[in-house]
């Protein structure tokens, strides 16, 4: 539960899009992995480590936000995802840093409710899951597949 609160709070602080686990509440939604490379990171640092972290972030051309009032982490933003990764790796070695993690950007999409969908090769090839985000169908539309078989020659 702490991790969800942290991610949700991080989304508010950083302006990032972080999807909470909503599978129980919205079973038709599924969350895909990282969609885009965020340039932001979160660093849990003691007040005594602020100066070193600030120097590190500025040396890489980045900025940082105010300390979160409840959870105590700082949000940092760097010019590129590569710079973010370098800063977060270096920050983990600084005194007073408990953790340093990138902000993950994810998106929710409607999920296929067919239990054998993973066995159907065409679904990913035609982008069906993206289409279901736009239209999920209507009861008045009838779809039929007419298959007369294949004559092997």
Q: Write out pLDDT tens, residues 62-71.
A: 998 888 888 8
Residues 6+ away with beta carbon under 8 Å from 100 = 41, 42, 43, 44, 87, 88, 89, 91, 92
pLDDT band at residue 109 using 50, 70 and 90 as cut-offs: low
Q: Rounded to whole angstroms, how far apart are CA atoms 146 and 144?
A: 6
Beta bridge partners, 97, equal 45
> Is there a contact between 109 and 129 (Cβ–Cβ < 8 Å)?
yes
pTM above 0.75, yes or no: no
User: In terms of C-beta density within 10 A (0-12 exposed, 13-18 middle, 19 or more buried), how is residue 12 classed?
Assistant: exposed
Q: Write out pLDDT tens, residues 89-98.
A: 999 999 999 9
């Amino acid at each position: 539960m702490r991790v969800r609160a942290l991610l949700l709070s991080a989304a508010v602080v950083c302006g990032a899009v972080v999807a909470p686990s909503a599978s129980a509440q919205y079973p038709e939604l599924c969350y895909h992995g990282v969609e885009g490379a965020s340039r932001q990171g979160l660093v849990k640092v003691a007040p005594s480590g602020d100066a070193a972290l600030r120097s590190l972030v500025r040396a890489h051309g980045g900025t940082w936000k105010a300390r979160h009032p409840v959870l105590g982490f700082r949000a940092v933003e760097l010019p590129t995802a590569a710079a973010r990764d370098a800063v977060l790796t270096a920050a983990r070695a600084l005194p007073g840093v408990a953790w340093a993690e990138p902000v993950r950007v994810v998106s929710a999409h409607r999920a296929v409710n067919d239990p054998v969908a993973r066995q159907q090769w065409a679904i990913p090839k035609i982008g069906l899951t993206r289409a279901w985000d736009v239209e999920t169908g209507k009861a008045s539309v009838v779809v039929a597949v007419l298959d007369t078989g294949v004559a092997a020659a």
